[in-house]
Amino acid sequence: MAIVIRIDVELARRKMSVGEFAERVGITPANIAVLKNGRAKAVRLTTLDAMCRVLDCQPGDLLEWVDDDGDGSTPAGL
């Protein structure tokens, strides 16, 4: 399973640059790139909150779970 971060979609909808977004959220453009490229292992809830405030969106607009197993099953125990 993988979590895909869709920051680029929301930025395009608002015609906002990565630099402007990073400045308004309070993190570096390099950290935005880490999120966009799927290299982040975690996102602080305070950062997610700031991103949603700046983009006026819900966390689900930025995060998507993708089943990379391809079988459509859920993890054991869920």
pLDDT in tens, 8-21: 999 999 999 999 99
List the CATH code of the domain at 2-66: 1.10.260.40
Tokens of 15: 């015609």
- Closest among 23, 49, 18 to 35, alpha carbons compared: 18
In the predicted model, what is the mean pLDDT of residues 36-42? 90
Spans of all domains in the chain: 2-66
- Of the chain, the percentage scoring pLDDT greater than 90 comes to 74
pTM summary value: 0.81
Q: Could you tell me the CA-to-CA distances from 4 to 37, 38, 40, 50, 67 in Å, in that order?
A: 9, 7, 10, 18, 10
Q: Are 43 and 72 in contact (CB under 8 A)?
A: no
Position 49 scores a pLDDT of 98
Using the 8-state DSSP alphabet, how is residue 54 labeled? H
Where are the strands (E) in the chain, listed by range?
2-5, 63-66
